[in-house]
């Protein structure tokens, strides 16, 4: 793009981070047999019974707009599912089905944030939250997490960043990109802090079904005093491998949800009917598929961290989602450069933590979105690139 065309863009358009991913995608296109551990898009297929429900919906006239909030049986199934997992009680007019959880972030930000308001976001964290707040003209306040707390949020970290302008706190649990879990007792402390400072909490629980070992996710909205100030955001992309169906949802107290649903209607009218029927089958059908996928990610997680241990690369203990966040700077290169070299020399794609707002350029996120043999192959390629880099570091400059 020339300078004259970019100056026509609105000031809210930020180009700064997008190019890192775009650049890597461009390099990958020139290479054969790249092991893609970048995007958070499961390689696993949507389970058959869900696909079948989508096909049946198409055959039976599911080709129209639906109710703006989503078809009633789906909203009922979402409410039942939230309750079954220890979440709050929601009526079906307190749930909005959206074209993906990501879309929901923008609806929520546009409905709740005025210019001057501040939104606290975990950092590193899923960056569209910050983009949504900026688009609404609000200020993003990053709450920086470190390896000291295994990259999980604590109430104390958040407290330090609260100002009279703070309005929303985003909690992503398990977190992307770090794959870490904020434990239930800390979630309770965070909830009490939100009440003390009258914050609205966006509780992103999209990875809540994917946790490992004895980890447990405490839904925020069911804690005392939290239902009225929490928007629960989730979706089907991760637990049911349904990224391409573009369907998610948010739930919250009626007085907040109704205005948000109007904005959602203005942007999308309704979610594709076919995806809604498939999502209904996902929630009401056999849940073994979720457990099967969780077990697959768990095996991949163990295979990957074994490789990091062999290479002497430290990582945050992965407790949920399907990511491992590793300190690749021990190789001697900043993470962004390491990722570029790993791609061009090792044909393995992973993403630098900077994409997720990490202030350091030390960490990279590896997605567990390939089979164990491919992950093992990726580790071997990584070892070879790390070896080359370490050799170079020893060579004195000419």
Site for ligand PLP in 154-183 (CB under 6 A): 172, 176
Of residues 97 and 172, the one with the C-beta less far from ligand PLP? 172
**CA distance linking residue 126 with residue 176, whole number of Å:** 6
Q: CB 230: neighbour CB atoms within 10 A?
A: 28
Q: Retrieve residue 395's tokens.
A: 């060579």
DSSP letter assigned to residue 17: T
**CA distance linking residue 325 with residue 278, whole number of Å:** 32
**CA distance linking residue 117 with residue 14, whole number of Å:** 19
Binders of ligand PLP: how many residues, by CB under 6 A? 13
**CA distance linking residue 331 with residue 134, whole number of Å:** 35
Q: Rule CB under 6 A: is residue 204 a binding residue for ligand PLP?
A: yes
Q: Retrieve residue 47's tokens.
A: 């389970």
Residue keyed to tokens 């942007």: 267
Q: Rule CB under 6 A: is residue 235 a binding residue for ligand PLP?
A: yes
Could you tell me the smallest distance in angstroms from the CB atom of residue 126 to ligand PLP? Answer: 4
Q: Which of 46, 54, 69, 126 binds ligand PLP (CB under 6 A)?
A: 126
Of residues 178 and 329, the one with the C-beta less far from ligand PLP? 178
Q: Retrieve residue 368's tokens.
A: 């567990």
Burial class (CB in 10 A: 0-12, 13-18, 19+), 104: buried
Of residues 211 and 333, the one with the C-beta less far from ligand PLP? 211
Q: Which of 123, 206, 339, 389 binds ligand PLP (CB under 6 A)?
A: 206
Query: What Cα–Cα distance (Å) separates residue 243 from each residue in 31, 79, 274, 300?
Result: 25, 21, 14, 20
Q: Rule CB under 6 A: is residue 205 a binding residue for ligand PLP?
A: no
In terms of Cα–Cα distance, which of 219, 170, 212 is closest to 194?
Answer: 170
Sorted by sequence, the CB contacts under 8 Å of residue 198 that are 6+ apart come out as 229
Could you tell me the smallest distance in angstroms from the CB atom of residue 49 to ligand PLP? Answer: 20
**Which residue minimizes CB distance to ligand PLP?**
100
In terms of Cα–Cα distance, which of 375, 326, 338, 311 is closest to 35?
Answer: 375
Could you tell me the smallest distance in angstroms from the CB atom of residue 247 to ligand PLP? Answer: 7
Q: Which of 38, 40, 54, 70 binds ligand PLP (CB under 6 A)?
A: 40
Q: Which of 178, 218, 237, 275 binds ligand PLP (CB under 6 A)?
A: 237
Q: Rule CB under 6 A: is residue 124 a binding residue for ligand PLP?
A: no
Q: Rule CB under 6 A: is residue 318 a binding residue for ligand PLP?
A: no
From residue 81 to residue 100, what is the string marking binding to ligand PLP with x (rule CB under 6 A)? -------------------x
Of residues 66 and 237, the one with the C-beta less far from ligand PLP? 237
Of residues 237 and 276, the one with the C-beta less far from ligand PLP? 237
What residues line the site for ligand PLP (CB under 6 A)? 40, 100-102, 126, 172, 176, 204, 206, 235, 237, 243, 248
């Amino acid at each position: 793009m020339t300078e004259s065309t970019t100056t026509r863009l609105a000031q809210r358009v930020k180009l700064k981070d997008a190019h890192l991913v775009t650049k890597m995608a461009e390099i990958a296109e020139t290479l054969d047999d790249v092991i893609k551990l970048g995007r958070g898009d499961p390689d696993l297929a949507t389970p058959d019974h869900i696909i079948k429900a989508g096909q049946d919906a198409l055959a039976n006239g599911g080709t129209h707009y639906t109710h703006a909030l989503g078809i009633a049986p789906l909203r009922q199934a979402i409410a039942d599912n939230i309750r079954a997992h220890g979440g709050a009680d929601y009526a079906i007019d307190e749930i909005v089905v959206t074209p993906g959880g990501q879309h929901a972030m923008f609806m929520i930000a546009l409905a709740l944030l005025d210019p001057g308001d501040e939104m606290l976001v975990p950092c590193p964290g899923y960056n569209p939250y910050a983009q949504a707040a900026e688009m609404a003209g609000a200020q993003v306040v990053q709450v920086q997490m470190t390896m000291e707390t295994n990259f999980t949020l604590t109430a104390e970290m958040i407290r330090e960043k609260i100002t009279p302008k703070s309005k929303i706190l985003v909690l992503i649990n398990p977190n992307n990109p770090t794959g870490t879990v904020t434990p239930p007792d800390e979630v309770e402390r965070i909830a009490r802090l939100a009440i003390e400072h009258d914050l609205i909490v966006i509780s992103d629980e999209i990875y809540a079904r994917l946790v490992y070992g004895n980890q447990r996710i405490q839904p925020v909205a069911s804690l005392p005093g939290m239902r009225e100030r929490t928007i629960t955001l989730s979706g089907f992309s991760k637990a049911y491998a349904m990224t391409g169906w573009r369907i998610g949802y948010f739930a919250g107290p009626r007085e907040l949800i109704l205005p948000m649903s109007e904005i959602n209607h203005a942007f999308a009218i309704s979610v594709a009917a076919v995806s809604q029927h498939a999502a209904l089958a996902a929630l009401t059908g056999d849940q073994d598929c979720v457990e099967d996928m969780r077990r697959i990610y768990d095996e991949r997680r163990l295979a990957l961290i074994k490789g990091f241990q062999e290479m002497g690369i430290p990582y945050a203990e992965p407790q949920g989602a399907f990511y491992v966040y590793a300190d690749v700077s021990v190789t001697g290169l900043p993470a962004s450069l390491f990722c570029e070299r790993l791609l061009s020399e090792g044909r393995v794609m992973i993403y630098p933590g900077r994409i997720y707002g990490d202030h350091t350029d030390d960490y990279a996120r590896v997605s567990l979105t390939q089979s164990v043999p491919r992950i093992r192959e990726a580790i071997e390629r990584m070892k070879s690139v790390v070896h080359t880099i370490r050799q170079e570091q020893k060579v004195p400059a000419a």
